Amino acid sequence: MSRLRRRASLALSVTAGLALLAAGCGGGDDDSTGLPADQQNAAGEGDGSPSGTGDGIRLGILGQCEGPFGGFHEDVVAGTTLALARFAGATPNSTTSALEGFSGAEVAGTPIELVGIGCGDDTADRIVQEVRRLVEQLGANVIIGPLSGDEGIAIAEYAKANPELTVFAGISGSQEQTLQVQAPNYFRFYGDGAIWSAGLGDLLHNQEGWDTVAVIADDYSFGHTSAAGFIADFCAVGGEVTHRVFPPLGTTDYSSYIAQLPNPDEVDGYFWAVGGTGTQAALEAFVNGKGDLTGDQHAGNLFFNPDLAQALGTDIAGAYVGGFATLPGDVRTPEIEEYLAAADETWETIPGSLSGNEPAPPSVAAAFGFFYGYYTAGVALVESLEAVGGDISDLDAFHEAIAGLTLDLPYGDISLDENRSGIVDVGLSRLVLDESGEVVQETVAIVPGVDQTFGGTFSPDTPSPGRDFPACEERDLPWVGNAIPVVDGVPQS
Amino acid sequence: MTPALTDAERGFQRSRVTRLRRPPVWVATVVVVAVAAWVLFLADGAPAGAAVDDPGKFLVTVLDGVTFAGLLFVAASGFTLIFGLMRTVNMAHGSLFLLAAYVAIRVQEAMVGRSRNIDPADVGLLDWLVPLLAGAGVAAVLGLAIQQVFLQWNEGQEMRQTLLTLAITVVLADQMLREFGGLAQRVVWPGAVTHFFSIMGERYAVTRLVMLGIAVLVGVLLWLWLNRTSVGMVIRAGVDDRQMVRGLGINIRRVFALTFLVGSFLAGVGGVLGASFAGAAPGTDGSWLLNALVVVIIGGLGSLKGAAAGSLLYGTVVAFSPAYLPSQYSYYAIIMTFGLLALVLAVRPYGLFGRPA
Amino acid sequence: MNLRERVTGETLALAGLVLLLVLLPSLATAFFVNFVMTQTLILGLAAATIVFLARYGGMTSLAQLLMFGIAGFMFGNAALDGGARGLNLGWHPWAAVVFAIVVTTLVAFVLGAIASRTTGIYFLMLTLVYGVIGYFVFAQIVEISGPGGITSIQRPDLLGPPVRLYYAGLLLSVLAYVGFRAIRRTAFGLALQGVRDDPVRMASLGFNVPLHRALAFTLAGFAAGLAGLLNVWWNGQIDPASISIGPTLILLIIAVIGGISSLEGAWLGAFVYVLVFTYLRDLPLVDRIGITEARFNTVIGVIVLAIMVLSPEGLTGIARRLPVRTTRKELGGTRA
């Protein structure tokens, strides 16, 4: 019965459809002519740029306007814009926001046109859709971004499937996007979540005398990666990790997880990689269950960064903090001063995340990692274009030029390893109270030349960092003993 | 449609149908006994160890469960109050919760005079109570506005109301991200209550007991309001039979508005408590809407008693599963929490104290 | 006579639409076909299962995205070989398809059976909790996914070119639409609608009410699983965030935009959602009034709010109320 009816209705659809063909075509034409018009609309925003799309750079930036990092949308777009303003002659279209785009960017005769800004929400699904919109609808041939870990893996996979594209990662911190995915057109000019914990173990074990440590980290990729970097480093120099606790994301009451940690007299210290509301909530649960915080018994990854964790109480002062792309504000070399001054000259104000998305001097945002990661990507784009004389018709040569770059950047030189991931300097710092009673960072050391393999702990053949990986093993790390001490903001090298 | 059957008759028949098949009751009993035996005597491989071996840790876990249940109760009581009378599932409950938290944070920052790294020692009792009332007040007013503008005129269309509040949630979440940014913030407990005491060799925080105390206070006040005042009686009568209340000539619209105001105020109180306990950030709204849902699904929608029972049960499972699951399974603690739900619903589809709508 | 005319008219219009969609790849840009329309068909198919349950079973389900996700995860686990996460069974893609659909259907039956005694708002909330359990199952159990999800999922060779994925979506959508409509008049469909209208009477007539609900839920889960397969082929990856509470609510919103009691509304809702998502921020006007792309959720929320204020039947409900070419008498007939 129903089969018969279906067949009848299918037959009906064909005849009916043929009858409607003329009308259908009309409608279809409307659709197809409407679309390119949309494209031109969006593309034409950078006015005055030549419309010939053949050999120019059509740039798309992937940010996040929703989700936990939604407040950093302005910061990351401003990062890339500043690089193009400094080195490619770009002029921002607004003096109070980077999201309005820029015009007039050109390197070695090749124009750089911003075709669109992708709006992620911290999920891989969404960022893939955003990059497809930028590339397949708006015709982007260079992408700068994304911002967060899982997004990075998804975009690297997308790059691998679309070899005609060139991607400079934004500030996404997962290891796999370069180490495992191995897309030849995906470049990362900054560290990763594990790298930003490097050197901390060396410092704590050899300088502060920690032999045992308990690790508590968010139970997802970035928490695992941060913990993995710390564990690899701390164990390499002979320390021992006694506990690993991974509370799930979205935990409200951390007390039962804190109860799984050893007491303060049973262990030399604790390493924390708990983000968002958890940073403070977990510490408070610790105070409730284990005893008062004595800062020097604690260390954390970038989640302890006082700009990110503004809700932290003052009793955390004394804790050590891993790095995050830039250096804390107490280090002021001439290059850094110049970079921050350039940011302040480019805009009057930028409503970045650190100022609660209220207008603030652009240098506030520029001194922080999210802005800076996108800045390094922009600089890499400019310098690679210069290296090939503005000619990107030979993509292999263009990619080779990028892979061979060594960028001279305000917070330290950056070059790429064979997986096209950054070899960077990591700044370690300590939380202290300033005169107004606010928690600030004081730089204690700079660890030069950290790469993502950690002397072989991580390789394309090892699993992704997880709850049990890596194991705690001694091994030679290239950077152990090379840390440059920093006293009162001045590196002692 | 069968006009012959009234709602009441239908509900009666349905509950009889449910009562006929209840093998899950003894399944639940067996599960409860097994869990108790495990926690008390057998849990050697668990992070906390068996209760007879380490009574201190056991006691602390019980306290953790009960105090967290207090917070859950405050967060869920307004939700269940609104549902009980109006049959509206207020999906904006989490948004009101988060908004109150943000407002309280701003007010507290202004009162203390600094915006970051606030120390409890600098926070007086008033610096906490005023933000609490301000935050909850803003939530109450917004809740009332939502009810007046979007829910009053389509009363009885439950699904439509649910979807309306859902849409409001989407808008509010986005606007709060714009206004308050994405970084985690918190309300700081007053210095007067940030103390600790010792119990069986374990340290315990006074703030958690304060949280429980506020929850008990809220519960008692609500009970008095519903049982000792004429408005409360109208509300209870309305829960049982709205048509009858209307028939008696009572202006039920005003009662609805009042209920929504109180329910939203409670969401706000929960939000400020929650932000003192665990902080506030984008996403907090969703997770607390979920917490409230879980509590009332366990306890039964619309029942204050149910909200109390649901909070206790949920709080207990949240505290016990990470501590008493064998170590290699402790990652699945959060799944356990929801396993509890499945268990309850298998025995009682409308929750412990609920009735069919 | 009147009846046949009406059916023919409606079928004609839909057939014309299908033909237009068949011809679309030669009429529109690749992006419009492979991105906008493919996503529309995938989301529409998934949302149609919500509509099916709501319209014929009286159950508004928030667990359909979970079914969608389970199919995706299971396919990834079965088909991948040597990936960083998951079971890496390395099966033949079509064996993985069968596995994914079987698992999804089984899970749907079990969950449907547990939920079969609840209705209305209770059912909505219970299925929301299902969604959350599903999220945590995939986030916490690293053997089958873990928080990072499963990446580099390839589609079967048969569906290699993107446009074939579009046609697969179109085919499955048409089949689901015709199938769901056909079920309406089967014995099962009639009993299901009876259960929706009066469970007590159906029970006293000897129908197994919970079983009918569970089977409807199973069928919806099966169809949602098909959409989920298309989705992982289209997206190339799936992770727990893909089935978290946000996207779960979005799928319901899609069904609501189109009209929760109209099957074709599911695809209409998906189309509107994807259009707004993709093109709204390109309009110069939008920037001027301050709703930038960064406030996309506000726009979506306001649209849903407006639709729900205007008509609980969504866009199709609004369209039906407008005095268009079709006469009111015909409309009344469609409803009956």
Answer yes or no: do A211 and A148 share one domain: no
Within a domain: residue A14? no
The torsion angles phi and psi of A318, rounded to 5 degrees, stand at: 110, -20
Answer yes or no: do A87 and A159 share one domain: yes
**B interface mutation test: which of A74, A277, A303 has the most B CBs within 10 A?**
A277
Q: Pick from B14, B150, B346: which is nearest to C114 by CB? A: B346
Within a domain: residue A31? no
Asked whether the beta carbons of residue B186 and residue A280 sit closer than 8 angstroms, the reply is yes
- Displacement of CA B213 from its chain's centroid (Å): 15
Q: Which one is predicted more confidently, C31 or B18?
A: C31
Within a domain: residue A29? no
Name chain C contacts of B329, Cβ cutoff 8 Å: none
Within a domain: residue A458? yes
Residue in chain B lying closest to A260 (CA) = B47
**B interface mutation test: which of A251, A256, A266, A433 has the most B CBs within 10 A?**
A256
Decide if B73 contacts B288 (C-beta within 8 A): no
CA distance, residue B283 to nearest chain C CA (Å): 10
What confidence score (pLDDT) does residue C277 get? Answer: 85
Using a CB–CB cutoff of 8 Å, tell me whether C110 touches chain A: no
List B residues 278-307 in contact with C (Cβ-Cβ < 8 A).
286, 290, 293-294, 297, 301
Residue C336 reports pLDDT greater than 60: no
The rounded percent of chain B whose pLDDT value lies above 70 is 93
Residue A26 reports pLDDT greater than 60: no
Using a CB–CB cutoff of 8 Å, tell me whether B216 touches chain A: no
**C interface mutation test: which of A15, A32, A179 has the most C CBs within 10 A?**
A32
Answer yes or no: do A390 and A450 share one domain: no
Within a domain: residue A416? no
What confidence score (pLDDT) does residue A49 get? Answer: 36
Asked whether the beta carbons of residue C120 and residue B5 sit closer than 8 angstroms, the reply is no
Using a CB–CB cutoff of 8 Å, tell me whether B353 touches chain C: no
Q: Pick from A28, A117, A133: which is nearest to C28 by CB? A: A28
Cα pseudo-dihedral A114, A116, A117, A123, rounded to 10: -130
d(C-alpha A480, C-alpha A238), whole Å: 12
Name chain C contacts of B301, Cβ cutoff 8 Å: 121-122
Q: How confident is the model at residue A29 (pLDDT cuts 50, 70, 90)?
A: very low
The torsion angles phi and psi of A232, rounded to 5 degrees, stand at: -60, -40
- List the Cα angle B101/B105/B109 in 5-degree steps: 170
d(C-alpha C112, C-alpha C213), whole Å: 7
Domain with A113 in it? 57-188+331-410
What distances in angstroms separate CA C141 from CA A54, A219, A227, B344, C148, one per listed residue?
48, 11, 19, 24, 11
Asked whether the beta carbons of residue C27 and residue A180 sit closer than 8 angstroms, the reply is no
Decide if A82 contacts A375 (C-beta within 8 A): yes
How many CB atoms within 10 Å of residue A435? 6
Bridge partners, residue A427, by sequence: A446
Total residues found in chain A within this entry: 493
What confidence score (pLDDT) does residue A11 get? Answer: 42
Averaged pLDDT score across all residues of chain C: 88
Decide if A272 contacts A303 (C-beta within 8 A): yes
d(C-alpha A425, C-alpha A357), whole Å: 29
Is the link from the previous residue into B55 a cis peptide, with omega within 30 of 0?
Answer: no
Whether the CA torsion A72, A75, A81, A87 is positive or negative: it is negative
C contact chains, 3+ CB pairs < 8 A: A, B
CA distance, residue A386 to nearest chain C CA (Å): 32
CA distance, residue C237 to nearest chain A CA (Å): 7
Residue with tokens 């497809």: A132
Asked whether the beta carbons of residue B284 and residue A356 sit closer than 8 angstroms, the reply is no
Q: How confident is the model at residue C5 (pLDDT cuts 50, 70, 90)?
A: low
- Six-digit token pair at C90? 């390395």
Residues A38-88 have pLDDT tens digits of 333 333 333 333 334 456 999 999 999 888 888 899 999 999 999 999 999
CA distance, residue C27 to nearest chain A CA (Å): 6
Where do the domains of chain B lie, and which CATH numbers do they carry? Answer: 59-347 (1.10.3470)
Name chain C contacts of B167, Cβ cutoff 8 Å: 253, 301-302, 304-305, 308
CA distance, residue A220 to nearest chain B CA (Å): 12
Residue in chain C lying closest to B168 (CA) = C301
Bridge partners, residue A69, by sequence: none
Q: Pick from B168, B335, B342: which is nearest to C137 by CB? A: B335
CA distance, residue C146 to nearest chain A CA (Å): 8
Q: How confident is the model at residue B2 (pLDDT cuts 50, 70, 90)?
A: very low
Answer yes or no: do A397 and A265 share one domain: no
CATH number of the CATH domain containing A226:
3.40.50.2300
Within a domain: residue A89? yes
The b/e string for B291-302 (b: 16+ C-beta within 10 A; e otherwise) is bbbbbbbbbbbb
Decide if A174 contacts A447 (C-beta within 8 A): no
Residue in chain A lying closest to C22 (CA) = A17
What confidence score (pLDDT) does residue C3 get? Answer: 54
Residue in chain B lying closest to A287 (CA) = B205
Structural Rg of chain A based on CA atoms: 25
Decide if A480 contacts A207 (C-beta within 8 A): no
Residues C11-26 have pLDDT tens digits of 888 899 999 999 999 9
Answer yes or no: do A156 and A203 share one domain: no
The b/e string for C15-53 (b: 16+ C-beta within 10 A; e otherwise) is bbbbbbbbebbebbbebbbbbbbbbbbbbbbbbbbbbbb
Answer yes or no: do A74 and A105 share one domain: yes
Name chain B contacts of A284, Cβ cutoff 8 Å: 277
Asked whether the beta carbons of residue A311 and residue B184 sit closer than 8 angstroms, the reply is yes
What confidence score (pLDDT) does residue C287 get? Answer: 55
Judged by average pLDDT, the poorest of A16-20, C41-45, C129-133, C152-156 is A16-20
CB half-sphere exposure, B302, CA atoms < 13 A: 20
Of B173, B206, C307, the closest CA to residue A65 belongs to: B173
The tally of domains found in chain A comes to: 2
Within a domain: residue A19? no
Residue in chain A lying closest to B46 (CA) = A260
Asked whether the beta carbons of residue C19 and residue A125 sit closer than 8 angstroms, the reply is no
Residue in chain C lying closest to A462 (CA) = C84
Residue A14 reports pLDDT greater than 70: no
Residue B19 reports pLDDT greater than 50: no
* Interface predicted TM-score (ipTM) of this complex, two decimals: 0.89
**Which DSSP helix (H) or strand (E) runs through C14?**
helix C2-27
**Residue A177 identity (one-letter amino acid):** Q
Q: Which one is predicted more confidently, A54 or A280?
A: A280
How much is the average pLDDT of A455-473? 92
How much is the average pLDDT of A1-29? 39
Contacts across the A-C interface (CB distance below 8 Å):
170
Residues A155-200 have pLDDT tens digits of 999 999 999 999 999 999 999 999 999 999 999 999 999 999 999 9
Name chain B contacts of C133, Cβ cutoff 8 Å: 335, 338, 341-342
Answer yes or no: do A250 and A387 share one domain: no
Of B83, B145, B93, B170, the closest CA to residue C305 belongs to: B170
What distances in angstroms separate CA A60 from CA A131, B259, C217, one per listed residue?
8, 50, 43
Answer yes or no: do A94 and A182 share one domain: yes
Asked whether the beta carbons of residue B345 and residue C118 sit closer than 8 angstroms, the reply is yes
Answer yes or no: do A145 and A263 share one domain: no
Considering the entire predicted model, what is its pTM?
A: 0.89
- Six-digit token pair at A12? 């009906």
Decide if A141 contacts A57 (C-beta within 8 A): yes
